[in-house]
């Protein structure tokens, strides 16, 4: 925090999930997870970033922790517990990733925000979490600690019920919703509903149809930056990259709970998000760092890339 102004320097904390993304077509495991990805992407955009979550103590958990730390993301406050991380099994086809199966983490303890961890959280300008992180009960404490809070609601209907939105939205400064399956009218209505239930802003990413942000005063859109299908790797992490580009741009412009971003700042942040998502199309999995899946056969040739 700047002791003269009382404002935080732009720094981002990912709080919640980590996972192994296992591409069967490549015979390769990659580090990932929504909260991990946002922290890594924020770091790659030039701001300080950290990750707070629990790692398993097995070989896969060590792989995850080492890979995240290698990106320059601080993981020192993240405990290691007995168990193995979750694994998402998927493959890339025509440039898009298709999920095949998911195995839950066996790391059983949840990470409680004791006073010393809340003090640590308070040192960040923004904390990001998600529906995959089981952090809903912690959100009031995060918000009360001072930082802005962003939260990924995914694209699943169970996280869009009135009860769930009423539980989460009042403690969220920015809600991210994946809406590629909705038309523009339905997307705008959902964003207005989320803000009406207490979120400071709501951002919808819509794949090839671009993105929309609504803050209760104005609604802005940005188109997707088209990528050459023959050059794309896969679409893993594109939504997380969009969010990171958006929040880093806003934080650098002075966004705080007391200083909502004006029109031109929001417009620029959308453009930065679209650029970050475009660049992510050429990255293998979430942020590379792949290694052969233990016990896998030689990987089949990767599918030809194409638009998501």
Give the per-residue pLDDT at 110. Answer: 75
CATH architecture under which domain 11-102+110-292 falls = 3-Layer(aba) Sandwich (3.40)
| Rounded distance between C-alpha atoms, residue 72 and residue 226, angstroms | 30
| Rounded distance between C-alpha atoms, residue 211 and residue 208, angstroms | 9
Rounded mean pLDDT, 190-214: 96
User: Is residue 247 a contact partner of residue 150, using CB atoms and an 8 Å limit?
Assistant: yes
The SS3 of residue 218 is coil
| Rounded distance between C-alpha atoms, residue 180 and residue 201, angstroms | 19
Res. 305: pLDDT tops 60: no
Q: What is the pLDDT of residues 225-268, one digit of tens each?
A: 877 777 788 888 999 999 999 999 999 999 999 999 999 999 99
Taking alpha carbons only, the member of 121, 126, 133 closest to residue 33 is: 133
Res. 284: pLDDT tops 80: yes
DSSP string, 68-119: HHHTT-B-TT--EESS--EEEEEEEETTEEEEEEEE-----------HHHHH
Give the per-residue pLDDT at 8. Answer: 58
Q: How far is CA 16 from CA 38, 130, 244, 265, in A?
A: 11, 7, 16, 28
Res. 298: pLDDT tops 70: no
Q: How confident is the model at residue 108 (pLDDT cuts 50, 70, 90)?
A: confident
Res. 95: pLDDT tops 70: no
Res. 286: pLDDT tops 70: yes
Give the per-residue pLDDT at 88. Answer: 93
Q: Which two tokens stand for residue 107?
A: 């790391």
Q: How confident is the model at residue 306 (pLDDT cuts 50, 70, 90)?
A: very low
Please, which residues bridge with residue 29 across strands? Answer: 22, 291
Q: Which two tokens stand for residue 191?
A: 């964003």
Please, which residues bridge with residue 96 across strands? Answer: 93
Domain ranges of the chain: 11-102+110-292
Give the per-residue pLDDT at 308. Answer: 26
Judge if pTM exceeds 0.85: yes
Q: How far is CA 63 from CA 18, 30, 38, in A?
A: 11, 9, 18
Among 58-67, 219-228, 256-265, 294-303, which is the least confidently predicted range? 294-303
User: Measured between alpha carbons, how far apart are the two ends of the chain, in Å?
Assistant: 40
Res. 175: pLDDT tops 70: yes
| Rounded distance between C-alpha atoms, residue 302 and residue 185, angstroms | 37
């Amino acid at each position: 925090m700047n002791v003269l102004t009382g404002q935080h320097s732009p720094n981002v904390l990912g709080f919640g999930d980590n996972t192994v993304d296992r591409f069967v077509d490549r015979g390769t495991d990659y580090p990932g997870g929504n909260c991990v990805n946002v922290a890594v992407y924020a770091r790659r955009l030039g701001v300080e970033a950290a990750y707070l979550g629990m790692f398993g103590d097995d070989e896969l958990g060590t792989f995850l922790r080492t890979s995240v730390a290698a990106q320059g993301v601080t993981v020192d406050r993240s405990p290691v517990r007995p168990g193995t991380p979750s694994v998402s099994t998927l493959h890339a086809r025509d440039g898009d990733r298709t999920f095949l199966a998911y195995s839950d983490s066996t790391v059983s303890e949840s990470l409680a925000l004791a006073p010393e961890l809340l003090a640590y959280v308070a040192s960040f300008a923004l904390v990001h979490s998600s529906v995959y992180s089981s952090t809903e009960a912690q959100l009031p404490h995060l918000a009360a600690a001072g930082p802005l809070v962003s939260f990924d609601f995914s694209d699943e209907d169970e996280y869009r019920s009135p009860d769930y939105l009423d539980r989460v939205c009042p403690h969220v400064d920015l809600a991210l919703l994946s809406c590629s399956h909705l038309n523009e009218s339905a997307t705008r209505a959902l964003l207005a509903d989320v803000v009406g239930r207490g979120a400071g802003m709501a951002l919808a990413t819509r794949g090839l149809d671009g993105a929309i942000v609504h803050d209760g005063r104005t609604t802005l859109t940005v188109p997707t930056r088209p990528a050459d299908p023959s050059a794309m790797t896969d679409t893993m992490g594109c939504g997380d990259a969009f969010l990171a580009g958006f929040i880093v741009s806003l934080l650098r412009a002075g966004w705080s709970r007391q200083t909502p971003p004006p029109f031109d700042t929001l417009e620029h942040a959308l453009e930065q998000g679209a650029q970050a998502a475009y660049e992510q199309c050429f990255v293998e999995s979430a942020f590379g760092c792949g290694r052969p899946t233990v016990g896998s056969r030689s990987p089949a040739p990767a599918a030809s890339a194409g638009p998501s």
